[in-house]
Structure 1
Amino acid sequence: MSFAEGGRNAGAAWGAVLSMSLCVALLLTAEFMPVSLLTPMAGGLNATNGQIGQAVSLSGFSAVVTSLLITTVAGRLNRKLVLIALTALMLLSLVMVAMAQSFATLIAARVLLGICIGGFWSLATSIIMRLVPAKDVPRALALMYGGQAVAAAFAAPLGSYLGGLIGWRGVFWALVPFVTVNLLWHLIALPSLPTRFKQDIRVFGQLLGRRYFLRGLLALSFTFGSAFTMFTYLRPFLEEITGVGVDTLSILLLILGSAGFVGTSVSGRLVGNQVERLLRLPALVMGSSTLGLLLFGDGLIATGILLAVWGAMNTAMSVIWMGWMSQNVDDQPEAAGSLMVAIIQASILLGAMIGGVLLDHLSVTATFAGSVVLALVAIAIAGNGRKLVKSSA
């Protein structure tokens, strides 16, 4: 059901968009917070650092599975209720982590969080399309992804700092009231979002039969794979090549995350009716920034500038690609969103694996070079974007 079919007043929908933006910030914070608390969590649960890292990655795996199943499993359920249920799962996951006395409990909690991640992202764009008129969708997406910028800027530094003050369990307990408020906000702000039909899983095959969409998914996979091949191993690069200590490292990560606010703001204005011309931009800008780090990463100022550019495009990337989906697969937004989220999550996991192999067997510079190669492939597939729009079908 589109915005027009829902008959909503446009002004009344922005509160719901803001509620979803807060959900994005909390989801990403919950997903990546353990990275900054890995060592104390390992000690508290009698596990190794590697085991905790593997548990963190489980959320990505369950997110892939959930993204492919959510529209079928949810059936004709009102999407407002589904979003509320997913947010409740995030709340339960945080409580389980905070109270965990065993590694097995942590694994179960991360699986639950992955269900929330996969389900939310699969439905998010289609819900945004029902909350605001078509002309406001790019701006609403940028506003929602503003939550990503908040999490990227503050989650890791705050997690590390607060962990030293109140312990890693205290950090997760501190997130609980925020998620509770978000849950109540969903109840109040989201309109009823009934679904007229049950999604048939066969629609995935129909969508993949659209050559422009399949080509877009390939470009998407290499774009995100490139980004996370680099980002996952940014810390060892900064420590080994740039030669920074913990304090400077935190400042550089804050610069990268804060630049995301610029990315979401600008992308909301740039994504118009011809979004295809922007599709190669994320891989081009982020790949060039990574190449710049390989060439000039031993200089602190140059590194800070390049990370700011990379961080701004990192948040703009999601707005651009989801804007493409909203314009070119508007007849099946939930199914298309499910496929895109599955591809993104799988690409993130694969990019981290490729980067890890290059790091272990060669060097961190090889990892960054691998990221540049993946970006070049993404640029080649995306081309000028004309073969990625439905008019080319």
Structure 2
Amino acid sequence: MENNFIETQSHEWPQRTARSLSWAIYALMLSTFAFGMAEFIIIGLLPNVAHDLNVSISSAGFLVTGYALGIVIGAPLLTVVTGKLSPKSVLLLLLALFTLGNVLAAIAPNYLTLLLARIIAAFANGAFFGIGTVVATEMVAPDKRASAFATMFTGLTLANIIGVPLGTFLGQQAGWHSPFWVIVALSLLAFMSITFLIPRTQHTSTSGLGQEFRILGRKQVLLALLMTTFGFGGVFTIFTYITPFLERITGFSPTAVSLILVLFGVASTLGNIIGGKAADWKLMRSLLVSLVLLALIEALFTITGHNMITAVVTIFLFGIAAFAIIPMLQVRIVDKAKGATALAAAFNAAAFNLGNAGGAFLGGIIAASPQLGLNAITWVGAVVTVVGILITLWSMLLDRH
């Protein structure tokens, strides 16, 4: 499948200037901005959506879970279905599907329609990240792959800095439907950018579908997917319900929470950059250290979340640690899945969102529990991350042998 692109691009990319390659990666970055805003905007608007659609916070939280499950199913499925097309054609088709889903969300009159719209948009999300990862990383030298992915992924972190806070504010002032129209406009702009900036390559793969799916039989590939699921699952156990947590536990106003989400976005951008550099340096060692720091920060949040100052500091550190692991996890799966990198990257996107869905579901159960409640989601998230640490140690041990 997309290993065809890897074979083809080695002849085409070197002929292009460094500037044109940079603009091509920026086109992918704009796309990830739109995808990131669509995925995370609902988190800041959970109370508004729940009130307007007359559902509970936990039910509204399933809009996050449903989106993540859509990625889990859609990422490998659409990667397989579109395997005979050029990478550029696939990226454009996925953006068209994504736009359709967000148009439907922008006009959704009820909860079920909004959930369906989220799932449609999510189907395109994971496959786009899988193929986009291959496109971005194969434009550069092998020792710069993590940095190239981090550049592409900067769109997602910028969505947390700019898109989600501004979209949350817009949704609070003009209704929760309004940010989805902004996402539609961004996705159309991304569509045009990819049309003009990314060249078309031909399908030249001779490997069969069964051969590519054999990557799932590699122990290190499976461990890499589990590292992603649990390593990032703890993040969404907490982050899905960060708005009600900061309002009800810490005592911040909705406006203050919007500003804190901006700070989280700044931190996530720093973490993404740091993670990319660290992955190019010492991949597994850096990943292990980052996961340990993430678990400690999540556990401490149980205590620091009761004070406004310490809560803000913890949120900032949480953003850095959470997003530092993303480029590391993506490069790990590409390293261990030679011959089917796009399919592996799509599965990894699915693994990220399986962690997101599981974390959101688990957090919803904890938040709704009379015995535990919102305050417990932080230490429960830390426990999930510890499982990711143990899997990482197992994978490192296999590397040594």
TM-score, structure 2 as length reference: 0.88
Cα RMSD, aligned residues only: 2.6
> Bigger shift: 188-197 or 144-153?
188-197
Question: Quick check: 1:260–1:311 contact (8 Å CA) kept in 2?
Answer: yes
Give the 5 Å matches for 1:296-335: 296-335=304-343
Q: How does 1:161-172 map to 2 (within 5 A)?
A: 161-172=169-180
Letter of the structure 1 residue corresponding to residue 384 of structure 2: L
The equivalent of 1:21 in structure 2 is 29
2:243 is the counterpart of 1:235? yes
Q: Mapping of 1:181-260 within 5 angstroms? A: 181-197=189-205, 200-203=208-211, 206-260=214-268
Moved more, 379-388 or 245-254: 379-388
Residue 145 (1) aligns with residue 153 (2): yes
Determine if contact 1:255/1:308 at 8 Å carries over to the other structure.
Answer: yes
> How many angstroms apart in 1 are the aligned matches of 2:198 and 2:327?
21
CA distance in 2, matches of 1:39, 1:384: 40
SS in 1 for 2:252: coil
63 and 124 in structure 1: CA distance in 2 versus 1, 3 angstrom threshold: same
- Structure 1 residue 87: deviation in Å? 0.9
Match of 2:55, as an amino acid?
T
Residue of structure 1 aligned with 2:386, choices 368, 376, 384: 376
**What are the superposed Cα offsets for residues 112-164 of structure 1, whole Å, 9 maximum, x if unpaired?**
20111122122222222332232332221111111111111233321232234
Q: Give the structure 2 partner of residue 291 of structure 1.
A: 299
Match of 2:282 in 1: 274
Structure 1 position 382, deviation (Å): 1.0
TM-superposed CA distance for 1:197, in Å, is 2.7
Change in 2 beyond 3 A, CA 1:210/1:22: same
Q: 1:248: how far off? A: 2.9
2:360 counterpart of 1:360: no
For residues 50 and 384 of structure 2, the distance between their equivalents in structure 1, rounded to whole angstroms, comes to 33
- Summarize the alignment of residues 29-178 of structure 1 with structure 2, pairs less than 5 Å apart: 29-38=37-46, 41=49, 48=55, 53-178=61-186
Q: Residues 95 and 227 (structure 1 numbering): CA distance in 2 closer, same or farther, change over 3 Å? A: same
Q: Which moved more, 1:85-94 or 1:72-81?
A: 85-94
CA positional deviation for 1:52: 5.0
Percent identity reads 25
Is 258-267 or 191-200 further displaced after alignment?
Answer: 191-200
Query: Would the alpha carbon gap of residues 353 and 249 (structure 1) be closer, same or farther in structure 2, given more than 3 Å must change?
Result: same
The answer (yes or no) to whether the contact 2:64–2:360 under 8 Å persists in 1 is no
Structure 1, unmatched stretches of 5+, are none
In 2, the alpha carbon distance for the partners of 1:177 and 1:88 equals 12
The one-letter code matched in structure 2 to 1:190 is: I
Take 2:335 and 2:83, find their aligned partners in 1: how far apart are those partners?
24
Alignment correspondent of 1:4: 10
Give the 3-state SS of the residue equivalent to 1:100 in structure 2.
coil
**Number of residue-to-residue matches in the alignment:** 390
Which one is further off, 31-40 or 317-326?
A: 31-40
Distance 1:93 1:207, change over 3 A: same
> Aligned with 2:168: secondary structure?
helix
Structure 2: unaligned runs, 5 residues or longer: none
Q: Is the 8 A contact 2:168 2:179 kept in 1?
A: no
- Offset of 1:387 from its aligned partner? 3.6
Letter in 2 for 1:356: G
